[in-house]
């Protein structure tokens, strides 16, 4: 490193610390501006962005619809986290932690708010009875891997992804530290998938939906531009699984919802019906 950092006795915010998210990161929570969120006609109202965490939920919703669960119809509204939409009064009412995705279920007598992606996946699985085994052993294994993802992904995203791709300067120590952990996690997945078709066993589940947008996207070269650096081709079982999941119609549909970058057939800022996705996918050559 160019110089050693000596922490102050009491930390204070440096507004000039740089990096992609410097303009919105603050040490306090809560509302920064007043704005009511729109409410559409569908039973489920999603407010999100097509980051890996956002894709988990839209993939789940599209998988439910593919199974004929019409009650899983949803409106998906864009939350532009780079512009600070997550700090609006309406969004903070749904998620006081100001992180996407956030969901409101209007199908009952009173609206129910659900935040944190794993909580949303579990809520939808239990509500509609799909993608979470009823057998106690299989259910527990699925939950093991769902919570593995919740504990592991911050090392990949906030650790490796931040210091490798987003930090204003590249420093050897944090990149090495989080590269080692990311590769260890990939090895954990590779060994699990050597003996299982899907993450938690023989059944496709919310564990796959949670893990694929992060680690599947990583080994397919779709996030952080780090495939060569991480030698992702060496994780052959993760590669097999990632490619298999990527070919699912619901995954192809769900990953473009609330996306505003990429090719024109990969972008759908808002989704209100199946036809919205159909129209975008038709643009692909």
Structure confidence at residue 23 (pLDDT):
73
Query: How far, in Å, CA of 169 to CA of 234, rounded?
Result: 28
Query: How far, in Å, CA of 29 to CA of 24, rounded?
Result: 11
Task: Dump pLDDT digits (tens) for 176-192.
Answer: 999 999 999 999 999 99
HSE-up (13 A, CA, CB side) for residue 259: 24
Structure confidence at residue 24 (pLDDT):
84
Element holding 114 (H helix, E strand):
strand 112-115
Pairing of strands 112-115, 74-78: unpaired
| Long-range contact set of residues 145-148: C-beta below 8 Å, sequence gap at least 24 | 145/192, 145/199, 145/200, 145/207, 145/210, 145/211, 146/118, 146/121, 146/122, 146/206, 146/207, 146/210, 147/118, 148/188, 148/211
DSSP 96: T
HSE-up (13 A, CA, CB side) for residue 83: 6
Query: How far, in Å, CA of 232 to CA of 226, rounded?
Result: 9
* CB burial of residue 100 (10 Å; 0-12, 13-18, 19+): buried
Structure confidence at residue 1 (pLDDT):
45
**Residue pointed to by tokens 């997550």:** 86
Query: How far, in Å, CA of 240 to CA of 238, rounded?
Result: 5
Residues in the chain predicted with pLDDT less than 70, given as ranges, are 1-2, 15-22
Structure confidence at residue 5 (pLDDT):
83
* CB burial of residue 228 (10 Å; 0-12, 13-18, 19+): exposed
Structure confidence at residue 254 (pLDDT):
98
Tell me the sheet residues that pair with 113. Answer: 104
Q: At what angle do helices 172-193 and 236-246 cross, to 10 degrees?
A: 80
Closest by alpha carbon to 131, among 212, 44, 58, 204?
A: 204
Strand 102-105: give its sheet, edge to edge.
74-78, 44-48, 102-105, 112-115
């Amino acid at each position: 490193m160019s110089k050693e950092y000596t922490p102050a006795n009491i930390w204070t915010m440096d507004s000039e610390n740089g990096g992609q998210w410097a303009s919105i990161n603050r040490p306090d929570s809560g509302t920064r501006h007043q704005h009511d969120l729109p409410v559409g006609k569908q039973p489920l109202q999603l407010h999100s962005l097509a980051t890996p965490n956002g894709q988990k939920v839209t993939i789940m919703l599209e998988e439910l619809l593919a199974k004929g669960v019409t009650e899983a119809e949803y409106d998906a509204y864009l939350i532009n986290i780079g512009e600070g939409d997550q700090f609006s009064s309406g969004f903070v009412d749904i998620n006081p932690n100001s992180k996407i995705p956030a969901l409101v279920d209007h199908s009952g007598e009173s609206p129910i708010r659900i935040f944190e992606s794993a909580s949303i996946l579990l809520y939808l699985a239990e509500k509609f009875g799909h993608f979470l085994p009823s057998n106690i052993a299989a259910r527990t294994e699925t939950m093991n891997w769902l919570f593995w993802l919740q504990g592991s992904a911050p090392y990949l995203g906030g650790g490796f992804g931040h210091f490798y791709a987003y930090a204003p300067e590249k420093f050897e120590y944090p990149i090495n530290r989080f590269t080692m952990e990311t590769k260890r996690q990939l090895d954990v997945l590779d060994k699990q998938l050597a003996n299982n078709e899907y993450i938690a066993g023989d059944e496709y589940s919310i564990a796959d939906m949670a893990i694929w947008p992060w680690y599947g996207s990583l080994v397919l070269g779709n996030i952080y531009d780090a495939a060569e650096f991480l030698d992702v081709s060496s994780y052959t079982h993760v590669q097999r699984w990632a490619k298999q999941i990527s070919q699912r119609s619901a995954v192809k549909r769900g990953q473009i919802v609330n996306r505003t970058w990429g090719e024109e057939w990969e972008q759908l800022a808002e989704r209100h019906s199946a036809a919205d996705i159909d129209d975008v996918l038709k643009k692909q050559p």
